[in-house]
Amino acid sequence: MAAAQERVIGPVEPSAGLTADGLLLLWKLAVRLPHCDSSAEAEAVVAQATTGIDQTPAMRQAIAETVAAAIDAIRDRDRLRDLAICDPLTGLYNRRFMEEELDRQIQEMTRLGRPMAVALLDLDHFRSCNQAHGHLAGDLVLRSMAVLLQGFRQGSDVPCRYGGEEFVLIMPSATAIAAAKRLDPLRCRMADMGVHHEGRPLQPVTASIGVAEFPTHGASGTAVLAAADAALYRAKRAGRNRICVANPADFSVKNDHPACRYRA
């Protein structure tokens, strides 16, 4: 990324067809463009800066080269950012991003006076799947779960890989009970999903889910996540493949195929 930025902000060499004003414009663009957040923003900056300016062929070429170098730098920066915040196996946001996003969303929900649900999902008996079929098959199951989460998310939901076989779904503006009802079809789909590895079907893998709510179950991201974790372990102890909310009296979902009915 540093090398790319050096190409953008380095000195502009004088050339035929470029006036002093043209060189000054190129220098200003070279300074501003690396700070753009996207290629579209970079192009808008160029359009604004060059409005009403009579451009010679040499000037147009110099601007195009400056913009191309800037866009390369932006893309390099975005790739590095993706590497820093995304899980390489599943493509979901990683734990580091999740923790930062929890804090951001709590600030936003506090400002708006809205709740936020946090769901912690854990694949049941995942270790036995790895032992029976190998880690490559286990990786395939994890990626399949990530695909389900990506397809399930709505609006501003943020799906993340927490670590190992655990996933987190941040659901702004949702209550814990509403989140649990929304999550049950996902749990059912996970139980019914047929994953094949090297032409052979893998044993079914189910998911246990714990759900907590800000601010009801905690005033911070750490507290809400801990409450969801406690609910998750309660779901495990109750037999797995079910959803539990942080408050034991609130809600519990039990595997009841094919209807997947809710039970108190």
Closest to 129 measured CA to CA, from 140, 113, 145, 115? 140
User: Cα separation of 81 and 98, whole Å?
Assistant: 14
CA atoms within 13 A on the CB side of 188: 16
- Size of the chain, expressed as the number of residues it contains: 264
User: Cα separation of 97 and 105, whole Å?
Assistant: 12
Distances (CA, A) of 52 to 24, 28, 46, 68, 74: 16, 16, 12, 22, 27
Annotated active-site residue in 13, 65, 165, 166:
165
CB 165 within 8 A of CB 130: no
Active site residue 165: yes
The tokens describing 194, both together, are 């047929």
The tokens describing 109, both together, are 């929900």
User: Cα separation of 147 and 152, whole Å?
Assistant: 8
The residues annotated as belonging to the active site are: 165
